[in-house]
Amino acid sequence: MSEGAATAATVATAAGTAPLRERNGGQILVEQLRIQGVKRVFLVPGESYLPCIDALHDHQDAIQPIVCRQESGAGYMAEAHGKLTGEPGICFVTRGPGATNASIAVHTAYQDSTPMILFVGQVGNDFAEREAFQEIDYRRMFGQMAKWVAQIDRTERIPEFIARAFAVATSGRPGPVVLALPEDTLWGKASVPDMPRYQRARSAPAPAALDALQTLLAGARRPFLLVGGSGWTAAALRDLETFAERFDLPVGVAWRRLECFDNHHANYAGHVGWGMDDALRARIRDADLLIAVGTRMGEATTEGYTLVQSPLPRQTLVHVYPDAGELGRVFRAELPIAADVVSFAAAAAALRPAAEPAWRGLARAAHAGFLAHQQARPAPGPLNLDRAACVVRERLPRDACLTVGAGNYALFPHTYYRFQGPGTSLAPTVGSMGYGLPAAISAKLEYPQRTVVCYAGDGCFQMNLQELGVAMQYRLGIVLLVFNNGMWGTIRAHQEREFPGRTIALEFDNPDFAALVRAYRGHGEVVQSDAEFGPALERALAFAQEHSLPALIEMRYEADGIAPGQTLSGIRAAALAQRAPAAVP
């Protein structure tokens, strides 16, 4: 024991408290995670943080280590855990290549406002600045994609840094924290007290702001409530429903935030952003009062900052957001309110209209418009993905969780499925590919009794298909729907729109996905028609539940059917028509 540690232990004994134990850095760190309530960590083991791996051995009763196959998968699982629970998802990766692989999940957590902590092994301080084996300056590498990036250079400061990491990841606008762990810090020893469990900082709306909101509502004729962001709880959504019901507000959910309002609710108007129907777009465009709660209203939600114009929206804007620094940054709001969604929803639920709202019936009409677009659209070929999405909607229980990565295939569940609240949808608003399978694994670990279905494009799935090994190892009965059209479909649509008839570098040969999942002890089928899909889905769900192993349905369909109500041939024809020379009179 060092002289300083011995002195600290002596003081503790003299004060009548238990003497501090000398522990190495890995032991101190993992014990802090336990104190902070961590129950699961996702990792790809590496020699750069061996003391942490060893310390996990002593906490198996409280912390479950999930051994992943690649760091991007591990990072995605941690990010999905943060979305599901509101608590920081924890990921450990080794230095250098491990960190670069995990960076995609950090970027996702940043743009999706998800609490997450990434621990990265680092060369010892005695080797620093020599470009030692796998050495990277993580402050420079992660600086623009994390809320806080730091390196713990002293063993005795580990508790301080961990407590701060949890506070930063969850406060204001939630997001990722990256902590580098030099080897000498982890192997070093110290006698240091633990930090208590963190307390989440809350920001509530001021009474004057609530009075101003009621005044704006009283003068409105066509209001609209737009909900998104992170940090929602079931209780907060019930409060928001109360607010929407009392004021008869139509409610839309921001891009890929479909879990932020019950899609079955009579006030639900639809999914706002790319791919929305014209009637919903018109409701938001023509609204005289737009109340945006929890959402940044990014590019996808605002359709390139046109539906809600930046910097000065055409609608009177009330913007509620937990980070005051975000308010006024992109949109000038008539009423900016710095408040987290839980606190705002509780306050809004207590408001009551002074008189019958002038727009009575607007919410009912908006919900009727949403339901009118729930009927499957025509599509080319024997397997209609619109009808398949409706089959999924009718078959799954309401608390099922659907996950997606990125691609036009995701428009099918987002158009037809009706999500119910927190934990029913996991989708990266940043549009990162390879997310669906790791997210489904994380959801099944957190909610083992729930049905979990992953939608994945053939390209998207192959970015992290190795994580099927995690589903096999931990006996996770997830169902995967793999959309096989043999190409990068979204990019093909963009090429046809911008360079019609000149597509290149888009197609690829695929493996037999159904056979592949069987190599992971799972169940696999190929479907090519509407008649085959329903029975195959039933078999997949039954297998996953009975055997606690993954089940996969490979959906081979006509590639021309690129999105609900859209075909590639139609996109090409429209683009060519725009480029045709005008007729000479």
Residue pLDDT, tens place only, 373-411: 999 999 999 999 999 999 999 999 999 999 999 999 999
CA 29 to chain centre: 27
- Domain boundary (134, 167, 191) is at 191
As given in the structure block, the two tokens for residue 583 are 């007729």
Q: 5: helix, coil or strand?
A: helix
Give mean pLDDT, residues 217-244: 97
Helix (H) / strand (E) containing 344 = helix 341-349
pLDDT in tens, 441-491: 999 999 999 999 999 999 999 999 999 999 999 999 999 999 999 999 999
Both 327 and 454 in one domain: the answer is: no
Give mean pLDDT, residues 162-185: 97
Give 83's pLDDT tier (boundaries 50, 70, 90): very high
Both 138 and 160 in one domain: the answer is: yes
Q: Residue 444: which of 30, 170, 11, 80 has the closest Cα?
A: 80
Both 58 and 166 in one domain: the answer is: yes
Is 524 inside a domain boundary? yes
Both 396 and 350 in one domain: the answer is: no
**pLDDT higher than threshold 60 for residue 290:** yes
pLDDT in tens, 26-64: 999 999 999 999 999 999 999 999 999 999 999 999 999
**Predicted local confidence at residue 4, as pLDDT:** 41
Cis preceding-peptide flag for 311 (omega within 30 of 0)? yes
Between 11 and 344, the more confident residue is 344
Is 202 inside a domain boundary? no
**Predicted local confidence at residue 8, as pLDDT:** 40
For the chain, how many helices (H) and strands (E)? 22, 20
Helix (H) / strand (E) containing 555 = strand 551-556
Find the Cα–Cα–Cα–Cα dihedral 93, 98, 102, 104, rounded to 10°. 170
**pLDDT higher than threshold 90 for residue 160:** yes
Q: Residue 339: which of 318, 359, 354 has the closest Cα?
A: 318
CATH of the domain at 344: 3.40.50.1220
d(CA 19, CA 90): 30
d(CA 79, CA 388): 29
> How would you classify the pairing of strands 479-484 and 425-426?
unpaired
The torsion angles phi and psi of 41, rounded to 5 degrees, stand at -125, 145
Give mean pLDDT, residues 166-187: 97
**Predicted local confidence at residue 12, as pLDDT:** 41
Portion of the chain with pLDDT greater than 70, in percent = 95
Q: Residue 352: which of 268, 251, 242, 250 has the closest Cα?
A: 242
> How would you classify the pairing of strands 189-191 and 22-24?
antiparallel
**pLDDT higher than threshold 50 for residue 1:** no
Give 583's pLDDT tier (boundaries 50, 70, 90): low
Q: Residue 190: which of 228, 157, 227 has the closest Cα?
A: 157
Lowest mean pLDDT among 139-148, 182-191, 279-288, 467-476: 139-148
Question: What residue type is 348 in one-letter code?
Answer: A
List own/partner pairs for 325-328 with CB under 8 A and 24 or more apart: 325/172, 326/173, 326/296
Supply the range of the domain harboring residue 71. 3-191
**Predicted local confidence at residue 29, as pLDDT:** 98
Residues 119 and 146: beta-carbon distance below 8 Å = no
**Predicted local confidence at residue 135, as pLDDT:** 67
Find the Cα–Cα–Cα–Cα dihedral 45, 46, 52, 57, rounded to 10°. 40
What secondary structure letter does DSSP report for 292? Answer: E
Both 408 and 447 in one domain: the answer is: yes
CATH of the domain at 158: 3.40.50.970
Residues 245 and 367: beta-carbon distance below 8 Å = no
Is 422 inside a domain boundary? yes
Between 498 and 5, the more confident residue is 498
Both 368 and 389 in one domain: the answer is: no
> How would you classify the pairing of strands 289-293 and 223-227?
parallel
Find the Cα–Cα–Cα–Cα dihedral 566, 568, 570, 576, rounded to 10°. 140
Is 52 inside a domain boundary? yes
Residues 222 and 362: beta-carbon distance below 8 Å = yes
What secondary structure letter does DSSP report for 10? Answer: H
d(CA 178, CA 183): 16
Q: 567: helix, coil or strand?
A: coil
H helices of 188-277, where?
207-218, 234-246
As given in the structure block, the two tokens for residue 465 are 């298909």
**Predicted local confidence at residue 19, as pLDDT:** 83
User: Average pLDDT of the chain?
Assistant: 94
pLDDT in tens, 323-339: 999 999 999 999 999 99
Residues 29 and 186: beta-carbon distance below 8 Å = yes
Is 366 inside a domain boundary? yes
Within 8 A by CB and 6+ apart from 246, the residues are 351, 352, 353
Alpha carbon separation from 489 to 208, 481, 558 (Å, rounded): 50, 16, 11
Number of domains forming the structure of the chain: 3
Residue 44: CB atoms within 10 A of its CB come to 21
Give 14's pLDDT tier (boundaries 50, 70, 90): very low
Give 132's pLDDT tier (boundaries 50, 70, 90): low
Residue 350: CB atoms within 10 A of its CB come to 11
Is 364 inside a domain boundary? yes
Both 88 and 211 in one domain: the answer is: no
Both 146 and 238 in one domain: the answer is: no
Is 99 inside a domain boundary? yes
- Domain boundary (191, 223, 257) is at 191
d(CA 230, CA 418): 19
Residues 451 and 479: beta-carbon distance below 8 Å = yes
Give mean pLDDT, residues 426-453: 97
Between 9 and 170, the more confident residue is 170
d(CA 34, CA 52): 13
Tracing tokens 């975000």 back to the chain, one arrives at 326
Give 141's pLDDT tier (boundaries 50, 70, 90): confident
Q: Residue 89: which of 52, 50, 65, 118 has the closest Cα?
A: 118
Round the CA-based radius of gyration of the chain to a whole number and report it: 26
Give 134's pLDDT tier (boundaries 50, 70, 90): low
**pLDDT higher than threshold 50 for residue 16:** no
**pLDDT higher than threshold 80 for residue 581:** no
- Domain boundary (191, 222, 255) is at 191
What sign does the CA torsion over 31, 34, 36, 41 have? positive
**Predicted local confidence at residue 10, as pLDDT:** 39
**Predicted local confidence at residue 585, as pLDDT:** 55
**Predicted local confidence at residue 580, as pLDDT:** 79
Both 446 and 409 in one domain: the answer is: yes
Question: pTM higher than 0.75, yes or no?
Answer: yes
Both 245 and 355 in one domain: the answer is: yes
Within 8 A by CB and 6+ apart from 496, the residues are 503, 568, 571, 572, 575
Residues 118 and 78: beta-carbon distance below 8 Å = yes
Is 14 inside a domain boundary? yes
Both 359 and 262 in one domain: the answer is: yes
Both 180 and 122 in one domain: the answer is: yes
Alpha carbon separation from 298 to 257, 272, 274, 275, 330 (Å, rounded): 12, 11, 11, 15, 9
